[in-house]
Structure formats: structure tokens, C-alpha cells
Amino acid sequence: MQKQTNNTFTQVIAAASPPSVFKGVLLRAAIISLIIGSILTLVNQWLALFGEEQIQYLPLTLVYLTPFFVVAISQVIAIRKAVKDMLKTQNSTFQKKPFIQTALQHGIPVRAVSLGLIVGSLNTVIVATVVLSSGGSVSDLPVKLLAQSYALPVLFGLVSQSISYRRAAAALSAAHQAAPGI
């Protein structure tokens, strides 16, 4: 009977995962990227937009691309973790916990920091390469932008993974309850 229960639960998760849980990952990432990128552009390039400074196109591009990739990757990682946790525990009931509790569990902080370090390092390499190859020096590197490229992906990753984990766990639980006899 245990084998039948495990097989049934696995079938429910397999049936629920692709269409209902992953649906909208890219759309949500794009919307969040547009919002965050626009806010960061206003903060970082205010004088270029409304004053007499030149627009810096590389930072402009990075403030939109970075949140998009961080949020999309974070959502996929969190959804996969929710599926893995539900399969491991065979618990088909989503227990709504406070948001902060979800954010601090399920390995989310470690993954958010790891993703932030990877993304921040990639941004640093890109910016440093452009600055140094165009005749600039290390002192010409935009320190505020580089600090943002580490700190903000950690924050976005933590929030995005927490929301996505909760959304996926709830969807999987609902799918199981809607089709208990699969």
C-alpha cells in the first residue's frame, strides 16, 4: 500500500508541476525586472535622465537584465525545491507559515547568497572589463553599482524564492487534493 501511495503522490506532482507551477515564470521575471530596473535607473542615472550627464548604457542594461535572470532562476530553483520537499516528505498538505519563516527555511538563504555572489561576480567582470579596456583604471569602477550587483540579487533571490516556494507548494497541495485518486 505504501508503494501505491508514493506512486500516486508522485503522479499528482508530475501532473501538477509543468503547466500549473512553472506557468508564468518568465512573465513574472519580466514584470519584476521592468519595475526594479526602472527604479534603479531613476536612482542611479537621475542626472543623465533629467540633467546634463550622459546615459551609461552598460549599467542601464545590467539593471534590467540582472533582476530578470535572478528572479527567473530563483523561481525555478524554488519550484524544484518545493516539488522535491513534497516528494521527500510525502506531505500533500500545504501549511501556510509566516513569510519570514519560509524565507529562512528550505535552504533559501544559502541559495540566495550563492546566486547573489555568482551574479555580482559576473556583473563585476563585465563592468571591470569594459572600464579597463576603454583606458580606465580600477579607481574608475562604479563602486555603488558594483555593491548593488551583489546585494540586490541576494535580496531579490530571497524574496523571489520564498514567494515561488509558497506558490508551488500551495499549487501542488491543491492538485493533490483535487485528484486524490490518481
The pLDDT of residue 169 is: 84
- The answer to whether 55 touches 45, Cβ cutoff 8 Å, is yes
- DSSP code string of 82-127: HHHHHHHHT--------HHHHHTSTTHHHHHHHHHHHHHHHHHHHH
| pLDDT-flagged residues of the chain (< 50) | 1-6, 182
pLDDT reported for residue 181: 53
pLDDT at 114: 96
Contacts of residues 27-36 at CB distance under 8 Å and 24 or more positions apart, as own/partner, are 28/71, 28/75, 29/67, 29/68, 29/69, 29/71, 29/72, 29/75, 30/68, 32/67, 32/68, 32/71, 32/156, 32/160, 33/64, 33/65, 33/67, 33/68, 33/71, 34/64, 36/63, 36/67, 36/152, 36/156
| Average pLDDT of the chain, as a whole number | 84
Confidence (pLDDT) at 21: 58
Residue 50, SS3 per DSSP = helix
Full-model pTM: 0.80
